[in-house]
Amino acid sequence: MNILKQELRMGRKSLIIWCLSLAGILMLFMLLYPSISSQLEDFQKVFKSFPIEFQQALGVVNLQLDSILSYYQFPFTYILLAGAVQAMNMGVAVISSEVREKTGDFLFVKPVTRNRIVSMKILAVLVQILITNAFVFATALILVTILSTKPYNVGLFVLITCSLLFIQIFFASLGLFISAFLRRIRTVLPISMGVVFIFYIIFLLNETLKDEKLGLISPFGYFDLSELSKTMNYDSLYLLLWFVLVGLFVFLTFRLFARKDLPSI
C-alpha cells in the first residue's frame, strides 16, 4: 500500500489541475446553453447550412438543441478528448517515470516483486481516474440540473457521462502497454496527445465514412455519444471489444515489464 500512497501523493497536483480544467470546460460550454436555447432556430439553421460531411464530423447531424442532453453531448465530446489525454498521460508516465527520473534504482531494489509494483501503480492510475470521473459526474449533474428547464432523461445522462470512465480506462491501459513496450520514454505528452488525436481523427473520419471495420479501431467510436441517445445503451460488441483490449494491454504490461532490463543511469 505504501507504493499506492506514494503514487497518489505524487499525482495529487496534476490530478487537481486536470479535474478543475475538465470541470471548467464543461461549465463554460454549459453556461452558454441558456442563450443558445433562446436562439434555437438560428443555430439550427446555421448547422443545417453546413455540408452534410461537415455536420457528421462535428456530430451535429441529429442535433436537437431543444433538449439539454443533446446539447450536453457536444461539450462532452471535448471532455472525452481531454480526459483521454489525461488518462493516457498517467498510463504512460506511471511506470516510465521511474526510469526517466532515474528513481528506478531506488524502487526496484526494494523487497517487492515487479508485479507488485506494476499492480500498485495500475491501481493508483485507476483511483485517479475514478476520482476524475466522480468530480466530472458531480459537476455535470449540477450543471444539467440547474440549467434544464424541462425534466431530462437521467439514464441517458448517466450513459453519456460514464463513457468518460470507459474511454479513460482504455487510454490508460494503452499508455501502460506503450510504456512497457518502449525501452525509454523521454517525454510523455507528445506520445499521449499524438495517440489520442490519431484515434479521434479516425473516429471523425468514420463519422462520414461509416465503415464498420474502421469503427473497430477507434475507442471513441465505441462510445459514440450521438448513437447513445438513439439506442439508449452501449453497443455490446464494442463493450466486449473494449474489455478484451483493456485486458490484453494490462496483461502485456505485466508480461513485458517483468522481463525488462532497467537501463543503468
Partner 1 sequence: MNVIEINQLTKYYGKHRGIENVSFSVEEGEIFGFIGPNGSGKSTTIRALLSLIHPTSGSATIWGRDCIKYGSELRRDIGYLPSEVFYYEHMKVIEVLNYSASFYDNVDYTRIQTLADVMDLDLNKRIDDLSYGNKKKVGIVQGLLHEPKLIILDEPTGGLDPLMQQKFFDLIRTENKKGATVLFSSHILSEVQKLCGRVAIIKDGTIVKIENIRDMQKHNYKKFTLEYKGLIDVHHFNLEGITNLTLNENTLHFLFKGDINRIVARLQDQALLNLLVEEPSLEEIFMHYYQKED
- Long-range contacts of the stretch 139-146 (C-beta < 8 A, 24+): 139/22, 139/23, 139/26, 139/27, 140/26, 140/30, 140/72, 140/76, 143/26, 143/27, 143/30, 143/31, 144/30, 144/68, 144/69, 144/72
Q: Which of residues 123-152 bind partner 1 (CB under 8 A)?
A: none
Do the beta carbons of residue 136 and residue 79 sit within 8 Å? yes
Task: Tell me how far, at minimum, the Cβ of 3 lies from partner 1, in Å.
Answer: 9
- Regarding 109 and contact with partner 1 (CB under 8 A), the answer is yes
Task: Tell me how far, at minimum, the Cβ of 184 lies from partner 1, in Å.
Answer: 13
Count of Cβ atoms closer than 10 Å to residue 39 Cβ: 12
Considering only 104, 175, 215, 219, the residue that binds partner 1 (CB under 8 A) is 104
- Regarding 8 and contact with partner 1 (CB under 8 A), the answer is no
Q: Cell for 206? A: 468514420
Count CA atoms closer than 13 A to 177's CA, side-chain side: 15
Q: Is 166 helix (H, G, I), strand (E, B) or coil?
A: helix
Considering only 41, 49, 51, 111, the residue that binds partner 1 (CB under 8 A) is 111
- Regarding 262 and contact with partner 1 (CB under 8 A), the answer is yes
Q: Which is nearer to partner 1, 49 or 109 (CB)?
A: 109
Q: Which is nearer to partner 1, 42 or 105 (CB)?
A: 105
Distance CA 23, CA 19 (A): 6
- Number of helices (H) and strands (E), helices first, in the chain? 13, 0
- Regarding 62 and contact with partner 1 (CB under 8 A), the answer is no
- Regarding 186 and contact with partner 1 (CB under 8 A), the answer is no
Considering only 184, 213, 230, 259, the residue that binds partner 1 (CB under 8 A) is 259
- Regarding 101 and contact with partner 1 (CB under 8 A), the answer is yes
DSSP state of 263: P
- Regarding 37 and contact with partner 1 (CB under 8 A), the answer is no
Q: Which is nearer to partner 1, 49 or 264 (CB)?
A: 264
Q: Which is nearer to partner 1, 112 or 130 (CB)?
A: 112
User: b/e per residue, 144-181, with b = 16+ CB within 10 A?
Assistant: beebbeeebeeebbebbbebbbbbbbbbbbbbbbbbbe
Specify the stretch interacting with partner 1 by CB under 8 A; choose among 37-45, 67-75, 97-105, 122-130: 97-105
- Regarding 6 and contact with partner 1 (CB under 8 A), the answer is yes
Q: Which residues bind partner 1 (CB under 8 A)?
A: 2, 6, 10, 101-106, 108-113, 116, 259, 261-262, 264-265
